[in-house]
Amino acid sequence: MKTFKLISFQLVDKNDETIQIPFIDALIINKENEKNTWLIELFIERTYFSVFENYQPQDKFPVNVIITKAENDPATFLVNVINSKVVDEYVSILLEGTLSRSRGYAEQLLGLLLDKGLSGNELLLAFKEEIRTKKNKVGRPSKK
């Protein structure tokens, strides 16, 4: 198993809305097994727990995470909640899932900006800014 620091966590909800979930601490573990399973543990404020309460243990949903360094591209995982534990005003959430073999972040971002009607120099400037800051919220993994 290999453990990595999580830098950013975004949940893509049932309406394809991306929700940035701030956390106190988080990590991601590659179990390095035959199923290519990963574990994500988030330690969040209790107020953000409501986002996860809508999911049953069998419900799988996409999340976008940035691992190790802020300049890394987001990786998309298809996960489900396997455990949660309330600790005072905080909640520890354990997710299990697999890395999505979807289109890369840059390709998803370009599609999103084109969908917004951007073109030419406006598209180029927006793309450069979004790639630099990684603040854009890309959607669900491709079904291809």
- Residues 21/7, Cβ–Cβ less than 8 Å: no
Quick one: how far is CA 7 from the chain centroid?
10
| pLDDT attached to residue 74 | 85
Four-residue CA torsion sign, 48, 134, 18, 5? negative
Mean pLDDT (the chain) is 87
Q: What is the pTM of this model?
A: 0.74
Render pLDDT for 76-107 as a digit per residue (tens, 0 to 9): 899 999 999 999 999 999 999 999 865 566 77
- Residues 42/93, Cβ–Cβ less than 8 Å: yes
From the list 69, 62, 68, the residue with the least C-alpha distance to 15 is 62
Render pLDDT for 18-52 as a digit per residue (tens, 0 to 9): 899 999 999 999 999 999 999 999 999 999 999 99
pLDDT at 139 over 80: no
